[in-house]
């Protein structure tokens, strides 16, 4: 996923076209469902603006938690705007994805001029409950190991580690970065994984060789109750 250049343009008459986000309708053909969160910075309201139709859809995003969403109708591209008096600022532009329906919008930066944003694919087929996604904002290829499962992610990209928690468990997580032809350690820790949630580990920005990379975690909790298998009945006593 490439980094996006900033564009600080005014958006005249946009707020009059503001449309509240309808409830998600996964069956609607051609629409996107975009969830939003802030990584490492306070939450706040943003706007997703369709182009060329200029439909402004408000979205309240929280820090560290993925809880809100917006339904985006078919369009050519989606722009991310923040309302920062006296005028709004356009932070990023995403072409309308050709594949996938659900995405998580991860944002960093307290001020519009320093903000950056990434769209992480979030369909359950590619990012299931109980799994971990690594968003690599560093300058090196990263290798993440969860217990015996390993995934590698290039700079500026995201990838899901092939470990899915079938029950609440404590997993050993290690993170390494590729320095030339050799892997160098960045960190080693324990983390709690659960089939009732999925999370994105945001690593960076930063230079891996200068020390442990900054890390932030954003979590989404499954709103649907998990089904607990019913144990088989005991055989009748003889």
* Model confidence pLDDT, tens digit, residues 46-103: 899 999 999 999 988 888 888 888 999 999 999 999 876 556 788 899 999 989 999 9
Query: Residue 201 is part of which domain span?
Result: 132-221
Q: Are residues 155 and 63 in the same domain?
A: no
Describe the strand order of the beta sheet including 132-138 as a list of residue ranges: 158-161, 132-138, 197-206, 215-221
Given this model, what pLDDT does residue 44 score? 79
Q: What is the pLDDT of residue 45?
A: 83
d(CA 215, CA 184): 17
For residue 138, tell me if it sits in a domain: yes
Residue 114 belongs to domain with CATH number: 2.60.40
Q: Is residue 212 part of a domain?
A: yes
Same domain, 51 and 77: yes
Q: What is the pLDDT of residue 63?
A: 87
Is 232 within the bounds of a domain?
no
Low-confidence ranges of the chain (pLDDT < 50): 1-27, 228-230, 236-238
Domain total in the chain: 2
Global pTM reads: 0.78
Domain co-membership, 69 together with 30: yes
Q: Is residue 235 part of a domain?
A: no
Is 37 part of a structural domain of the chain? yes
Residues 147 and 61 in one domain: no
Whole-number pLDDT of residue 4: 30
Shared domain for 107 and 147, answered yes or no, is no
């Amino acid at each position: 996923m490439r980094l996006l250049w900033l564009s600080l343009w005014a958006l005249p008459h946009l707020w009059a076209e503001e449309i509240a986000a309808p409830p998600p309708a996964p069956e609607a053909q051609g629409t996107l469902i975009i969830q939003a969160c802030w990584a490492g910075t306070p939450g706040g309201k943003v706007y997703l603006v369709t182009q060329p139709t200029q439909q402004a859809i408000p979205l309240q995003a929280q820090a560290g938690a993925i809880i809100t969403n917006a339904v985006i109708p078919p369009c050519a591209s989606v722009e991310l705007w923040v309302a920062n008096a006296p005028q709004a600022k356009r932070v990023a532009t995403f072409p309308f994805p050709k594949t996938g329906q659900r995405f998580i919008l991860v944002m960093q930066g307290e001020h519009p001029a320093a903000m950056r944003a990434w769209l992480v694919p979030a369909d359950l087929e590619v990012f299931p409950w109980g799994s971990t996604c690594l968003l690599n904002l560093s300058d090196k290829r990263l290798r993440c190991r969860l217990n015996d499962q390993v995934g590698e992610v290039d700079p500026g990209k995201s990838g899901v580690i092939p470990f899915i928690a079938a029950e609440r468990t404590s997993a050993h997580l290690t993170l390494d970065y590729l320095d030339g032809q050799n892997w160098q350690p960045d960190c080693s820790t324990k983390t709690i994984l659960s089939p009732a949630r999925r999370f994105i580990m945001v690593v960076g920005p930063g230079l891996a060789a200068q020390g442990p990379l900054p890390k932030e975690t954003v979590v989404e909790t499954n709103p649907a109750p998990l089904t607990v298998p019913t144990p088989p009945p005991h055989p009748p006593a003889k």
